[in-house]
Structure 1
Amino acid sequence: MTSQHEFLDRGDGIRLAYASLSGTGPTVVFIHGFMSDMEGGKALALEASCQARGQAFLRLDCSGHGKSEGKFTDGTISRWRDDVLALLDAVTDGPLVLVGSSMGGWLALLAAQARPERVKGLVLLAAAPDFTDWGMYADFSPEQKAALERDGQVAIPSEYGPDPYIYTKALIDDGANNRLLTGPIRFDGPVRLLQGQQDPDVPWEIALKISEKLTTPNVRLHLVKDGDHRLSRPEDLDLLCAVVGELTATLTTASR
């Protein structure tokens, strides 16, 4: 049985949707990707795994995604990071393990830097820090760049659904202010990176760069040779749950 949705007013009248399970710490938190939500296979598989072992768990929708309120086109990396922090502060206690998928990996890294006293471990799947640079604007055609400057946004067809992805100038400009791969990524805890080598959206070399930039020596990279961007096949979900379970067990043992 999945957890029930609840809502938190982030302070400006926009309500953020989330679902949580009580249990032992550290609390595992799943952060979704760009134009995704907390109802995907990875979030639900992780919730079931945590529930089976009595682990506290939180999944959430950033504003403009899923069941959360707000306009998607008002969103930026800073805004979505602050959505994550608002929920961490309001509905969780104690140590945390953040699990971020794609853009959620970027948000998880930013949240870990904002709450270093609470975030004890990270599991990042096809993490995409700085994707507004290397995975977005750099690939725009001259016509798309002109539309972005003229209209403040541009629509790009998506292979993940019938609706195009809407990229705003505000999102790209704000992304530049949140770059992580240009310097050291300060984090002291264990980090596990899961990356498909057949990912058409996030080159697997990005995972190597994240590992290089992280200041912690405790980094393990799981390359899935035939894995795509979603990493949502049964075997991928089994790997995710096993990695998260191992990491939380290690942290629990170390805290005793």
Structure 2
Amino acid sequence: MCAIKTSMKILSVEFMSQNKKILGKLHLPDVENPPVVVGSHGLEGSMESAKQTILSRILPDMGVAFLRFDHRGCGKSEGNFITDTSLEARVQDMIHAVDYLWALKKTRKELMLFGSSLGGATCIAAWKKLLDLGVEPQGAVVCAAPVDSSTITIIPTQATPDRPALPLSFFKENLLFNLSDDLPLMHHVLIFHGDHDGVVPVENGREIHSKAGEPKKMIIHRNGDHQMSEKSHQKEFEKEVKLWVKACFKSTK
């Protein structure tokens, strides 16, 4: 299947999420009222992550808009990473992103979610909140997403060039969660997970696949790591996402 390329417009966007200015980019195809995918990056990632960069290229070529942004305390958005990071805060950022899109009126109200690592958990938790607000996503793509934070095997406590060391209390107070009960609410879910993920064990992906509603698909990358570093895995990601998004948004190219 060959994608039909369209011209694309990239808008720099900003919106407020609980008094924090969130900065992002909206990639718009040259079609009227396209459906839209909203992306959420990992714990210490940004909207410039490899997978979101891939999506910013391939989705507009399919006639689908893509909104990517830096969560509060990350990248170019306002906030302090240590004091403003929690799963609930990430969920609120995603909900405010959807609110912003609906107010902007450059896309139609057909929505899919994308998330990698903690961003995948954000998608799971946000799905329920969106339903409560009368918005039902048409599908999701999640990569290396933790369902139960207690299964995470590597906790990044050491200092980095961008932040001081993180105490264990940071994770205990802000990033303890179990989203198992939210999974049956989801449907049209495409799941990627590496079987050698040393951060979020692949059992999390299997639980998503087991408990989410139909249709759903799980792709386990052999010898795949948490970051999806292998180029062949990235190519498969690109191919499968195109097919999945096309199926969820049946009127896309």
- Give the structure-1-normalised TM-score: 0.80
* Cα deviation 1:120-172 (Å, max 9, x = unaligned): 101110111332x2226xx78xxxxxxxxxxxxxx7238x9886662563542
Match of 1:28 in 2: 37
Alignment check: 8 A CA contact 1:25 1:252 kept: no
Structure 1 residue 71: Cα displacement: 0.3
Alignment check: 8 A CA contact 1:61 1:68 kept: yes
Structure 1 residue 41: Cα displacement: 1.2
Higher alpha-carbon deviation: 238-247 or 219-228:
238-247
Alignment check: 8 A CA contact 1:2 1:47 kept: no
Alignment CA distance shift 1:217-1:9 (3 Å): closer
Measured in 1, the distance between the counterparts of 2:251 and 2:139 equals: 12
Match of 2:24 in 1: 18
Question: Among the aligned pairs, what percent are the same residue?
Answer: 23
Which aligned pairs between 1:75-224 and structure 2 lie closer than 5 A? 75-92=85-102, 93-116=108-131, 117-131=135-149, 133-135=150-152, 156-157=157-158, 166-167=166-167, 169=169, 171-176=171-176, 178-181=177-180, 183=181, 185-214=183-212, 216-224=213-221
Measured in 1, the distance between the counterparts of 2:70 and 2:127 equals: 18
Match of 1:152 in 2: none
- Give the structure-2-normalised TM-score: 0.81
Measured in 1, the distance between the counterparts of 2:239 and 2:35 equals: 16
Match of 2:14 in 1: 7
Measured in 1, the distance between the counterparts of 2:162 and 2:89 equals: 26
* Cα deviation 1:164-213 (Å, max 9, x = unaligned): 6625635423444x4213x3523242111101112111111111122223
Q: Specify the SS of the correspondent of 2:233.
A: helix
Q: Specify the SS of the correspondent of 2:185.
A: coil
Gaps (5+ residues) in structure 2?
1-7, 103-107
Letter aligned with residue 166 of structure 2: I
* Cα deviation 1:17-50 (Å, max 9, x = unaligned): 1111224543112210011100111111111001
Q: Specify the SS of the correspondent of 2:90.
A: helix
Q: Does 1:56 align with 2:55?
A: no
Letter aligned with residue 16 of structure 1: I
Alignment CA distance shift 1:69-1:162 (3 Å): closer
Gaps (5+ residues) in structure 1?
141-154
Alignment check: 8 A CA contact 2:9 2:28 kept: no
Measured in 2, the distance between the counterparts of 1:82 and 1:104 equals: 12
Which of 73, 95, 120 is the matching residue for 2:82?
73
Letter aligned with residue 139 of structure 2: G
Alignment CA distance shift 1:230-1:85 (3 Å): same
Aligned residues: 233
Alignment check: 8 A CA contact 1:7 1:17 kept: yes
Match of 1:147 in 2: none
* Cα deviation 1:24-82 (Å, max 9, x = unaligned): 54311221001110011111111100122221111111101111110001211111110
Structure 1 residue 246: Cα displacement: 1.2
Measured in 2, the distance between the counterparts of 1:185 and 1:19 equals: 29
* Cα deviation 1:69-105 (Å, max 9, x = unaligned): 1000121111111011111111244121111100000
Letter aligned with residue 178 of structure 2: R
Q: Specify the SS of the correspondent of 1:166.
A: coil
